[in-house]
Amino acid sequence: MVLAEMGGRIIGALQNLSNATIIDEKVLTECLNEISRALMSADVQFKMIGTMQSNIKKTVNLDDRAAGHNKRKIIQQAVFNELCNMLDPGKPAFVPKKGKPNVIMFVGLQGSGKTTTCTKYAFNYQKKGWKPALVCADTFRAGAFDQLKQNATKAKIPFYGSYTETDPVKIAQEGVERFKKENCDLIIVDTSGRHKQEASLFEEMRQLAEVTNPDLVIFVMDSSIGQAAFDQAQAFKQSVAVGAVIVTKMDGHAKGGGALSAVSATKSPIIFLGTGEHMDEFEAFETKAFVSRLLGMGDWSGFMDKIHEAVPMDQQPELLQKLQEGNFTLRIMYEQFQNILNMGPLGQVMSMIPGFNQELMPKGREKESQAKVKKFMTMMDSMTDEELDSTNPKLMTDSRIYRIARGSGRSLREVHEMLEEYKRLAKVWSKMKGLKIPKKGDMSAM
Ligand code: GDP
């Protein structure tokens, strides 16, 4: 994802501030120019970049007497806030309310990922106890109904559509009525797209919105559309009352900057991101957490949520304490492996820790990674308490390694591999020593 590259460049620009002895107009301008170039390379709209530059300059008063260190912090916080502002239109999206039939209409160009996203959205709510239903009002694309039917069947979500009816408005109306009678609380209407913005498409959207009277219209956009995002999003907004945005294919090589333009064009927040073709590759979007991740600060709020989900309440303070102490023993590694295995898809959690790379758990190879983690754990089962609790790497002599290999039925090479992994993770872990785990959006950990 190029957005990650953009984040890297912004981090670089901010780090240059730390290397400068005095922060004057010239240093600030250089830093802002580099940030602007980073944003431009990710296809963020030129006008938005200009606004951001001048807002930061306004916030950072170089004449004040703040010491260099504080000035840096002020600039970093201003960059963080501006990126958040770009992604946050200032008004929250409609949140479906339980106990009433919420009608949600999806719009977007053909291929944006609309049909896939409708099911992901429905599935996300179904997991939380909602009763969603899907209506296929896409009569334009051959095979659209089959695709929705297949997805819905897989997720066990009721669906409605027709192979013979050619009027999408009629299908939408019938589908919504039927699911209202069946007491579904989330009725999702998938609509047609076109390859490009056409008057006929927008007219169809208008009619569909009129008969279904949606509580929320979601604009789905492919993260790779770049500079075209602003016009496209605006064109939809002019036809129907778009109230939220979902950006798909964030897992690809897309530049992603178009997402920011879509927010600005529709004055609507991003609510979810599509991160793969599968049903559960779907993430709720939280601006501050996203920007934190973008700037390499780690998504602490997401990480904490995951910890709360997976680690028993009484163990949480202990885990956080260990994180902050920075001393990583093999026992901690063992416990973290246990936590990771409980937390479902590997990688999700650990990738949220700043600096944890994907080596241990590359995306798409979760099964293999789990097997590896389990193998490491069997070897650790053959270790003594002294070995598990030590932070002294010299303790692991050849004879101890030999005993562990024999005890676990593994080769010496495999035990060495496990110890190498331990060393690697210990290095990452040690970076968190003394780190204050920040509240959402706090920059002080940077
Ligand atoms: P529609 O024409 O807008 O309804 O688009 P589809 O839902 O048919 O999606 C078009 C293609 O994009 C399909 O091959 C999907 O599997 C794929 N797709 C949708 N969302 C994502 C995503 O988040 N990541 C990836 N990699 N592919 C996606």
Q: What is the 3-state secondary structure (H, E, C) of the chain?
A: CHHHHHHHHHHHHHHHHHHCCCCCHHHHHHHHHHHHHHHHHCCCCHHHHHHHHHHHHHHCCCCCCCCHHHHHHHHHHHHHHHHHHHHCCCCCCCCCCCCCCEEEEEECCCCCCHHHHHHHHHHHHHCCCCCEEEEEECCCCCCHHHHHHHHHHHCCCCEECCCCCCCHHHHHHHHHHHHHHCCCCEEEEEECCCCCCCHHHHHHHHHHHHHHCCCEEEEEEEHHHHHHHHHHHHHHHHHCCEEEEEEECCCCCCCCCHHHHHHHHHCCCEEEEECCCCCCCEEECCHHHHHHHHCCCCCHHHHHHHHHHHCCHHHHHHHHHHHHHCCCCHHHHHHHHHHHHHCCCCCCCHHHCCCCCCCCCCCCCHHHHHHHHHHHHHHHHCCCHHHHHCCCHHHCCHHHHHHHHHHHCCCHHHHHHHHHHHHHHHHHHHCCCCCCCCCCCCCCCC
Residue tagged 């530049």 (tokens):
255
CATH topology of domain 102-294: Rossmann fold (3.40.50)
198 — pLDDT class (breaks 50, 70, 90)? confident
Q: Domain coordinates of the chain in residue numbers?
A: 2-87, 102-294, 300-430
CA distance 301 to 439: 7
Q: How far is the CA of 277 from the centre of ligand 1 (A)?
A: 6
CA distance 235 to 136: 22
Determine which residue's CA is closest to atom 27 belonging to ligand 1: 277
Centre of ligand 1 to C-alpha 342, Å, is 29
In the prediction, which pLDDT does 443 show? 40
Answer whether 98's CB lies under 8 Å from 108's CB: no
Distance (Å) from CA 282 to ligand 1 centroid? 12
**Type of residue numbered 305:** D
pTM of the full structure:
0.70
d(CA 369, CA 352): 17
Q: Is the ipTM of this complex over 0.90?
A: yes
Closest CA to 45 of 222, 225, 253, 236: 225
Residue 111 Cα, ligand 1 centroid: separation in angstroms? 6
Distance from residue 112's CA to the centre of ligand 1 (Å): 6
- Atom of ligand 1 at shortest range from CA of 138: 4
Taking 50 as the threshold, does the pLDDT of residue 219 lie above it?
Answer: yes
CA 154–ligand 1 middle distance (angstroms): 16
Q: Give residue 126's pLDDT.
A: 93
Find out if CATH 3.30.70.2860 is the number for domain 300-430.
no
Cα of 300 from ligand 1 centre, angstroms: 29
Q: 249 CA distance to ligand 1 centroid (A)? A: 7
d(CA 177, CA 167): 16
| Both structure tokens of 240 | 């129907």
- Pocket residues: Cβ below 6 A from ligand 1: 108, 110-116, 147, 193, 248-249, 251-252, 274-277
User: What pLDDT band is residue 64 in, cutting at 50, 70 and 90?
Assistant: low
Asked if 443 and 76 count as a contact pair (C-beta separation under 8 A), the reply is: yes
Integer Cα distance of 418 and 387 in angstroms: 13
Atom of ligand 1 nearest to the CA of 112: 3
Please give the average per-residue pLDDT across 426-431, as a whole number: 72
What's the CA-to-centroid distance between 114 and ligand 1, angstroms? 7
Q: Give the pLDDT confidence of 133-187 residue by residue, as tens digits.
A: 999 999 888 889 999 999 999 999 999 999 999 999 999 999 999 999 999 999 9
| Ligand 1 binding pocket mutation candidate from 189, 220, 248, 283 (most atoms within 8 A of CB) | 248
Closest to 16 (Cα-Cα) out of 76, 81, 66: 76
79 within 8 A of 35, measured Cβ to Cβ: yes
CA nearest neighbour of 14 among 212, 294, 233: 294
Among the ranges given (59-63, 328-332, 412-416), the one the predictor scored with the smallest mean pLDDT: 59-63
Q: At 221, is the pLDDT very low, low, confident or very high (cuts 50, 70, 90)? A: very high
Output the six-digit token pair for 230. 């602003």
Report which protein residue has its CA nearest ligand 1's atom 2.
Answer: 111
pLDDT in tens, 67-84: 565 777 788 888 888 888
Distance CA 415, CA 405 (A): 6
Which ligand 1 atom is the nearest neighbour of the CA of 144? 4
Using the predicted structure, report yes or no on whether residue 293 has a pLDDT greater than 70. no
Protein residue with least CA distance to atom 12, ligand 1 = 113
Is the Cβ–Cβ distance between 257 and 283 less than 8 Å? no
Q: CA-CA distance, 49 to 40, in Å (whole number)?
A: 8
What is the third-level CATH fold of 2-87? Four Helix Bundle (Hemerythrin (Met), subunit A) (1.20.120)
High-pLDDT (> 90) share of the chain, %: 40
Among 3, 110, 112, 116, the mutation site with the greatest number of ligand 1 atoms within 8 A of its Cβ is 116
